Amino acid sequence: MSSRGPLTIETLLDGTYPDMSGPETVTLTGGEWARDVTLTSGGSTRTYHESVRAFGSALGDLDDTDGVVVLGYNGGGTGTFMRLIPVLNEAGQLTPGALSALGDRISVRALEVTASGTVVVDALMHGIGDGLCCPTLPLRTEWQLHGSQLKWLDPEVCAGRCADSIGPRANP
């Protein structure tokens, strides 16, 4: 992204973000990106979509509005891996932070940045016994910015309730 100016929905929808599968970046157009790639195991399409966003002023510089987006990544299989990414506005310079894993096929219903800078994710996660297609466990997780990455504050909220496909354990 590394653009200048105010952070708006449009700048998030057309932003440049870290590629989940390597060191490259991807630039969304209208919140989407797709590319056909040839893998040794056969053809594949890598796609991204920006599904949910929130704004707040407490993630970084309190004088500027920062943002958070949820990006979904499909590398050609059945999974869609959801990632949480802060977008920091440092004196008008917009910079995406590091990716944080939410999980495979998580359904994010709402995203909020509180006055204290906590990012709250309201989502349907996979409960124990849920099929990967169909998460049913309503879960509210809280994240805090550490450096340029959002860290899950209470992974124990999942203890005995969540499948291994969510949170920091959910890497493709």
- Which pTM was predicted? 0.78
Provide the residue range defining the domain that includes 26. 3-35+45-167
Q: Has residue 30 been placed in a domain?
A: yes
Q: Provide the residue type at 31 as one letter.
A: G
- What does the chain look like in DSSP terms, one character per residue? --EES---HHHHHT-EEE-TTSS-EEE-BTTEEEEEEEETTEEEEEEEEEEEEEEESSSS-TTS-EEEEEEEEE-SSS--EEEEEEEEEETTEEEE---EEEEET-EEEEEEE-TTS-EEEEEEEPBTT--TT---EEEEEEEEEETTEEEES-GGGGTTTB-TTBGGG---
Q: Has residue 172 been placed in a domain?
A: no
Q: Has residue 157 been placed in a domain?
A: yes
pLDDT, tens digit, for every residue of 97-156? 888 888 888 888 888 888 778 888 888 888 888 888 888 988 888 998 888 888 888 877
Q: Has residue 11 been placed in a domain?
A: yes
pLDDT, tens digit, for every residue of 36-90? 666 555 555 566 666 667 777 555 444 457 888 888 887 777 788 888 888 888 7
| Total of domains in the chain | 1
